[in-house]
Structure 1
Amino acid sequence: MKLYVVRHGDALSKSINPARPLSSDGRRDIEKLAAFLKPRKLAVAEIWHSGKERSRQTAEILSSAVDSQKEIKSIDGLNPEDPVDPIIEEILSLRDDLMIVSHLPFVDKLTCKLLNCNRDNEFITFPTGGIACLGTSLGSWRLIWFLYPELLSDLTL
């Protein structure tokens, strides 16, 4: 199984728009990420997002770049301060590849818990638009790759 953990793209500040949708830079970054991922033919059974607008928008843009067998879903338990253990239980019950779009600190905590790292060491910190691909075999998770928008700065749409 592969798990793609994504932090939403850059969002507008609450003072500009209380719903905090993606900013134009955030949308552009996620579109670049999608353009990079599309030829790599990622396939996931589902795409889960937190339900917050910026997370939903990120999931929708990325869904155009991956082969998803089902529609994207808003899932309870993916908000910034939610505990990761209930979601890990859900993940462990699955067999098919999955993409999760969420927020800080949730994505950092989820990734560190799966990789058995010490969160205090900040083993991995997701910038906006960051994506980690984790794989599991026999119950042990490993980081396969990690990508973020600054690495795609030369990519033109």
Structure 2
Amino acid sequence: MLIHLMQHGACLSKELNEQQPLSPVGREQVEKSGRAAARLGLRFDLVVASPKDRSRETAEIMARQTGYPVDEIVVTDTVKAMTPTAETLDFINEYSDMKSILITGHLPSLGALASAMLAHGKVLDIAIENGGLMQICLEPGQTAGTLNWALTPAQLGVIAGN
């Protein structure tokens, strides 16, 4: 199974909008990431977002860019910023029959999730930039995976042709 972890795009401050949707910069970051994902041939069997506006908007942009039906995005608390990693892993394991999953989420949980999948019992400090994307191969039933790649928004922009 390929797990794609994506930090939502940059968002507006709480002072400007309490819901903190994507900012114009964040929308541009995610659009570039989506175009890059399409150029890389990424297709997802499942796209997952947290209930936060910025996560849902990121998932919707990525879904449109990669051909995933926007109305089938799964919105769940299990990918919110402070969700315990074990809960998120349990959620992922419910979809172990899928080949490719995209999770558009938040820090620190995305970094903790990547650490749990890559370090098996050790803690790695993993940062994912806004609009950044990484791919981890996790075999069904396994607790440790392999990092296939991690791309920053700037690298994704080059792939997207921007």
Whether the TM-score (by the shorter chain) exceeds 0.5 is yes
Cα pair distance change 1:132/1:13, threshold 3 Å: same
Task: Find the aligned partners of 2:156 and 2:97 in 1 and give their Cα distance.
Answer: 31
Contact 2:2–2:138 under 8 Å retained in 1: yes
Residue 59 of structure 2 aligns to a residue whose secondary structure is helix
Cα pair distance change 1:34/1:146, threshold 3 Å: same
Confirm whether residue 111 of structure 1 aligns to residue 114 of structure 2: yes
Listed one character per residue, the Cα deviations across residues 17-71 of structure 1 (whole Å, up to 9, x for unaligned) are: 1000101110001101111111222121111100100000000000012243771
Instruction: Name the count of aligned residue pairs.
Output: 155
Q: TM-score with structure 2 length normalisation? A: 0.87
Counterpart code for 2:106? H
Q: Which residue of 2 aligns with 1:137?
A: 139
Task: Find the aligned partners of 1:81 and 1:75 in 2 and give their Cα distance.
Answer: 13
The structure where helix makes up a greater share of residues is 2
Q: TM-score with structure 1 length normalisation? A: 0.90
Contact 1:127–1:148 under 8 Å retained in 2: yes
For structure 1, list consecutive stretches of 5 or more residues without a partner in the other structure: none
Task: Find the aligned partners of 1:49 and 1:86 in 2 and give their Cα distance.
Answer: 15
RMSD: 1.8
Identical-pair percentage = 28
Contact 1:2–1:136 under 8 Å retained in 2: yes
1:73 Cα deviation from its structure 2 partner:
1.5
Runs of 4+ in 1 over 4 A off after TM superposition: 153-157
Q: Which residue of 2 aligns with 1:85?
A: 86
Task: Find the aligned partners of 2:64 and 2:134 in 1 and give their Cα distance.
Answer: 18
Task: Find the aligned partners of 2:157 and 2:111 in 1 and give their Cα distance.
Answer: 23
